[in-house]
Amino acid sequence: MSEMQATYLKDYLPPAYRVTHTELTFDLDPTATRVKARLHLERHPEREAGLPLVLDGEGLTLKQVAIDGQPLEADEFEADAHSLTIARVPERFRLDTEVEIAPDTNTALEGLYRSNGMYCTQCEPEGFRRITFYPDRPDVMATFSTTVIGDRESLPVLLSNGNPVEQGELPDQRHFVTWEDPHPKPSYLFALVAGSLEKVEDHFTTQSGREVLLQIWVEPENLDKTDHAMASLKRAMRWDEETYGREYDLDRFMIVAVNDFNMGAMENKGLNIFNSAAVLTHPQTATDAAFQRVEGIVAHEYFHNWSGNRVTCRDWFQLSLKEGFTVFRDQTFSADVNSAPVKRIEDVSFFRTAQFAEDAGPTAHPVRPDHYIEISNFYTLTIYEKGAEVVRMLRHLLGWEDFRRGSDLYFARFDGQAVRIEDFVACMAEVSGLDLDQFMRWYAQAGTPEIDAHGEYDYATGEYHLRLSQRTPATPGQSEKLPLHVPIRLGLVGTKSGHDLTLKLADAAGGSETLGKDAVIHLREAEQTFVFQDVEEAPVPSLLRGFSAPVKLRYPYSREELAFLLTHDSDGFNRWDAGQRLTMLALDDLIAAHRNGVEKVMDVRLVEAYRSLLDEPGDDQAVLAEMLTLPSEAYIAEQQPVVDVDAIHAAREFVRQSLAWQLRDAFLAVYRDNQNDEPYAPTPEQIGRRKLKNVALAYLMSIADDEAIGLTQAQFKNSGNMTDVRAALTLLAHSDRSDLAEPALKAFGEQWAHDPLVMDQWFTIQVTRPQPDVIERVRFLMEHPAFSLKNPNKVRALIGAFAQNRVNFHRLDGQGYKLLADVVIELNRLNPEIAARIITPLTRWQRFDEERQVLMKAELERIRGEKLSPNVYEMVERALA
Ligand code: 0A1
Ligand code: ZN
């Protein structure tokens, strides 16, 4: 089947014809929208003359086609399910086509579709071909002029990219607006919105003094949920000017909130379209985490205006060129406007759990893949998050100033072009003089490098020898791996002084270089020894500070050394990481004890470490909250050779309860001290207090004595913000007492039945319970009126969240796997992109015991027996390869 064929990077050729200008007219109708396209085409100068014109088109009903005003005869063109081919065309010409499409039956949410009666588009990566025949590839960039025609009553608002240049009335109660976007763009950045929407407006004055109109368009009932997104947008615009010198380039910037959306949001030029969950907030309906997520996503999409839109990707293999860089930019922005150490801790703990798992599984791929069947499957943690880590390494290697100069050069040199990852890296090499050839392997090699470190201090010579070796495990299709260029930020912490010691690094020529007290060393070989001289006292090494490279670093730390780093490391991130390592050592023992049926004994050193954290809370509550948070079950699982879900759950619960018993008064004090009566604000300070308070409450509720229950119930009833309400509800709903869980869930479900984004949270809380009734509950909730398989947010909130419920999803009767497979099969028809995402936990079968492997594979085989979309086909084939 042709749609199952792979596309290869090595086969890239420029398009035979390019489009200089595109004129579109949409006559909107739910079942028969007419799209007229006038494309101004010319032969690509690098391609030979006489090639046929081949345009992409999916599910289009062709009505007319003409060249330079001359309608074509039936034998002059060929239209099949995926393309329109015209064998003979002039060197320069005008192509007119007219097609019909049906937005109402579009449940895949790619191309033009309807959500709650409103029309909207999603064109990245290949949705535009579902709208009209077009060379739907990012290296074809054209200016667009778009006329949208719709019913005046039901569609008062008609939006597209750029600026409105004309509008007017038409017969039959219809009206139109014409939009012009002067910036040449690829088709994936096209957008159209039409509906009965209302707007909130603001203004931004750019650094050069231009006024920009800012609009957020929402359904009327959401008008009170836009403040935070608007404030975030203005902060992001200012930050990009100050940090990267990037100014906005149109007279208006619009954001639209849509309920049915496959991803978080989309950076269409001048008209960003957002999943409502990624833009709407209100203290009563959104948690702090949601507020921070909205801030990050608004910034991300805005930053794409330069990293993605002004300079875009030559082909989709280069996706990380825009995504890795833009994620790096949004992470730095969030760190700058919030608590930087907390942001890094959150990002890294997510990365080490989820991206490491991807890198270790059957769908592992490089940051720049070399082939794909379905590009939609490559919007992955590797492309986004690992891509961002690679850019972060460049920033470490160059230092901020050179990195910024490299960025300036990149934007100046490639403005208005569609380029490759090596073009970006070449700018960085050029401004810094660094040789980045070996560094390029980060883009080509999949898998997480493993670094083994050993240190030895020689009292006699005062030398410290740090021996590092690196190896990257084989990944599917890549058995041989070469050594990478790994920047390792480190310090040597004196065991007597507790301070960072001066780093004097011996060089090959017999000399040495003084690096300061916190420095980056460059690991390039498979094995390399670094010798530090004049080290005054025996040190404990603090390695990979700030997670300076996306690797697994092993060092045989003793528990005493980890406890030492936990209190003395000058790097906040590594202090947290020392705590995680210490907890992991205790967990490993407990997991073994559980397996062997031996009584579990709590490690007193861990209790003492936690006690010292609680005794000296410091002034960053959010950091303390992170330090007190146990590694997640998913993260613990990542560290095990074979995942034992039950032992992990039991060991983690044991640690939680033991800490709660032994430190109960301290947790109670933390809970009380961090109550806050101020009106809600999503400030880092308030967020930190709420986080710490709720971490303490969770410990207390693991004992679930009367006092803890009383506090949790009071917080659930009396709190005015969703962060506190949700934290309390989760604790009640996840307790063993159904007399606590059920009334609270019922009250919450009734109170918020009208608000889809809150109902998503209600679904998630219920299906992440550790109690064994969850699978039945998921099936029951799938029939709830607020649930719909057609809405991706609902699928994620109920099914996606359930699949993260490790003890229940992996139940030994296989019912969890069966449930997920049932949903995948149904979604494969409705929305292949979401189906291919939601299947992920099943593809990780290799990580589990024999019995579960058999069950998981059986469900994958059952899915394979269906008539599959390319999306699901590719995932299943990789999983079973
Ligand atoms: N470029 C967007 C991500 C995105 C990708 C595909 C989509 O629909 C299929 C939607 C959004 C971003 O990075 O935010
Ligand atoms: Zn992006």
The two tokens of residue 444 are 């080509």
State in Å: Cα 188 to ligand 1 middle. 10
The two tokens of residue 199 are 């707007």
Ligand 1 pocket residue status of 359, Cβ below 6 Å = no
Ligand 1 pocket residue status of 262, Cβ below 6 Å = yes
Ligand 1 pocket residue status of 519, Cβ below 6 Å = no
Nearest Cα residue to 230 out of 170, 193, 272: 272
Atom of ligand 1 nearest to the CA of 122: 8
- Mention every residue, 6+ apart, whose C-beta is less than 8 A from residue 672: none
- The answer to whether 301 is a known catalytic residue is yes
State in Å: Cα 218 to ligand 1 middle. 20
pLDDT score, position 3: 54
User: Mapping DSSP to helix (H, G, I), strand (E, B) and coil, where does residue 529 land?
Assistant: strand
Ligand 1 pocket residue status of 266, Cβ below 6 Å = yes
Strand partners, 462: none
State in Å: Cα 186 to ligand 1 middle. 14
Atom of ligand 1 nearest to the CA of 308: 1
Q: Spot the catalytic one: 124, 295, 301, 389.
A: 301
Ligand 1 pocket residue status of 374, Cβ below 6 Å = no
Exposed, middle or buried by CB within 10 Å (0-12, 13-18, 19+), for 496?
A: exposed
Question: CA-to-CA distance for 281 and 275, rounded, in angstroms?
Answer: 12
State in Å: Cα 838 to ligand 2 middle. 20
Q: Which of 107, 256, 266 has the most ligand 1 atoms within 8 A of CB, as the residue to mutate?
A: 266
Atom of ligand 1 nearest to the CA of 379: 5
- In this structure, what DSSP letter does residue 52 have? P
ipTM of the complex: 0.98
Question: CA-to-CA distance for 358 and 352, rounded, in angstroms?
Answer: 10
Question: CA-to-CA distance for 725 and 83, rounded, in angstroms?
Answer: 52
Ligand 1, atom 6: nearest CA belongs to which residue?
A: 124
766-783 CB burial, b ≥16 within 10 A, e <16:
bbbbeeeebbebbeebbe
pLDDT score, position 508: 87
Nearest Cα residue to 397 out of 368, 427, 428, 423: 428
State in Å: Cα 314 to ligand 2 middle. 16
Atom of ligand 1 nearest to the CA of 376: 9
Ligand 1 pocket residue status of 267, Cβ below 6 Å = yes
What type of residue sits at position 640? Q
Query: How many alpha carbons lie under 13 Å from residue 404 in its C-beta half-sphere?
Result: 10
Ligand 1, atom 2: nearest CA belongs to which residue?
A: 266
State in Å: Cα 264 to ligand 1 middle. 7
User: Mapping DSSP to helix (H, G, I), strand (E, B) and coil, where does residue 743 land?
Assistant: helix
Question: CA-to-CA distance for 268 and 258, rounded, in angstroms?
Answer: 14
Cα 435 to Cα 79, 423, 432, 503, 512: the distances in Å are 49, 14, 9, 24, 22
State in Å: Cα 144 to ligand 1 middle. 21
Q: At CA 45, angle to CA 40 and CA 50, rounded to 5? A: 75
297-317 CB burial, b ≥16 within 10 A, e <16:
bbbbbbbbbbbbbbbbbbbbb
User: Mapping DSSP to helix (H, G, I), strand (E, B) and coil, where does residue 98 land?
Assistant: strand
Exposed, middle or buried by CB within 10 Å (0-12, 13-18, 19+), for 242?
A: exposed
Question: CA-to-CA distance for 47 and 822, rounded, in angstroms?
Answer: 48
User: Mapping DSSP to helix (H, G, I), strand (E, B) and coil, where does residue 97 land?
Assistant: strand
The two tokens of residue 667 are 């947790």
Ligand 1 pocket residue status of 577, Cβ below 6 Å = no
Instruction: Give helix then strand counts, H and E, for the chain.
Output: 31, 33
Q: Which of 331, 379, 383, 796 has the most ligand 1 atoms within 8 A of CB, as the residue to mutate?
A: 379
User: What mean pLDDT is reported for the chain?
Assistant: 97
Q: What is the pLDDT of residues 279-320, one digit of tens each?
A: 999 999 999 999 999 999 999 999 999 999 999 999 999 999
The two tokens of residue 304 are 């794409």
Ligand 1 pocket residue status of 380, Cβ below 6 Å = no
- In this structure, what DSSP letter does residue 377 have? G
Return the beta strands (E) in 44-172 as ranges. Answer: 53-56, 61-67, 70-71, 78-79, 83-86, 92-101, 111-115, 118-122, 142-151, 157-160, 163-170
Helix (H) or strand (E) holding 196: none
Ligand 1 pocket residue status of 330, Cβ below 6 Å = no
| Nearest 10 degrees: Cα torsion 216, 217, 218, 219 | 150
Ligand 1, atom 1: nearest CA belongs to which residue?
A: 266
Q: Tell me if 185 sits within 8 A of 141, measured CB to CB.
A: yes
Q: What phi and psi values does residue 179 have, to the nearest 5 degrees?
A: -115, 140
Q: Is the dihedral of CA 457, 458, 464, 465 positive or negative?
A: negative
Q: How many residues does the chain have?
A: 881
Q: Which numbered ligand comes closest to the C-alpha of 188? A: 1
Question: CA-to-CA distance for 689 and 671, rounded, in angstroms?
Answer: 9
User: How many other C-beta atoms lie within 10 A of the C-beta of residue 825?
Assistant: 18
Cα 234 to Cα 201, 228, 266, 367: the distances in Å are 12, 10, 18, 31
The residue ranges of the chain whose pLDDT is under 70 are: 1-3
